[in-house]
Structure 1
Amino acid sequence: MEHINNKYYLGFEGEPEIIFTVVKQDNEKSGLSLWSGYFDNIMQQITPVEGKWTALSYYYNLNIGWYDESPWLIENIEGAYEQFKGIDKNKLDELELEILEKILELLKKSIEEKNNVYISYE
């Protein structure tokens, strides 16, 4: 069974879409679909570490990873989680903050349950 929450993509059909897909140990899939504009605004709040992009922001800023190959496995879920967790929430609007919380919840649960997480760009 597959359940993808597309609440944050509704109304943007035909625009670029980012999909986080969690694949559980029993191969059950769930995830979160969102308009790439929301994702871009959130990702732009991540700052370099000692002048270098790391973890998920590395792939985002170089337009590789999920831009080249979808679905793309996030190999460092912990690093991605820490980056999203470190975002200054005051720089996001209410809806972007809600999306960030959903992403954090998805990544944290995946770390705890040792699930794989993929990003797709469509």
Structure 2
Amino acid sequence: MSSEMINSSYYVGFEGEPELTLIYENLNDRYELRLWNGYFETLLDCMFEQVTDQSGILYEYSIYEGWYEESPWEIKNIKEAIQLFKSFDATKLTEDRVKVSKNIIATLPALASDIVTFLEQAITNGNRVFIVYE
């Protein structure tokens, strides 16, 4: 019997807005982390201020490709993505960034942590991870 485990806490209240879903699955189960695209894009924008190596997910985002052009899009280097999201530090954001996105910024540390946990579980289970953009 297969089952779906869906965490949509970062999309609740944004129904009808652009959605991004991280997915991994095995023979019996499917795991999803559903996000409001505004949270994800703001998180990535903030990381541009903090990360010098803009490869992987940051690179795809910067050229508006990856999941924007091909959905589902596979995260090829999950370990690199884990390190990226672990490196997020809201205390290092500029005042301007915080002023522009104050309500969103408050959610980003928990979101980054939940993305790390999701990706680590996928690696532990030997699964590939995909981003679906709707």
Q: TM-score, normalised by structure 2?
A: 0.80
- 2:89–2:109 Cα contact (<8 Å) kept: no
CA distance in 1: counterparts of 2:14 and 2:21, whole angstroms: 13
Higher relative contact order (CA 8 A, sep 6+): 1
1:63-102 to 2 correspondences below 5 Å: 63-90=64-91, 91=93, 93-102=105-114
Q: TM-score, normalised by structure 1?
A: 0.87
Question: CA 1:9/1:116 → structure 2, altered by over 3 Å: closer, same or farther?
Answer: same
User: Which residue of the partner structure matches residue 21 of structure 1?
Assistant: 23
Q: Secondary structure at the match of 2:9?
A: strand
User: Which residue of the partner structure matches residue 52 of structure 2?
Assistant: 48
- 2:88–2:109 Cα contact (<8 Å) kept: no
Is residue 2:24 matched to residue 1:12? Answer: no
Unaligned regions of 5+ residues in structure 2, if any?
A: 94-103
**Larger Rg, first or second structure (1 or 2):** 2
Q: Secondary structure at the match of 1:11?
A: coil
TM-superposed deviation, 1:55: 1.4
Greater percentage in helix: 2
Alpha-carbon RMSD: 1.6
Q: Secondary structure at the match of 2:107?
A: helix
User: Which residue of the partner structure matches residue 98 of structure 2?
Assistant: none
Q: Residue deviations 1:86-108, cap 9 Å, x none? A: 11132473322111111010011
Unaligned regions of 5+ residues in structure 1, if any?
A: none
Identity %: 36
Count of aligned residue pairs for this structure pair: 118
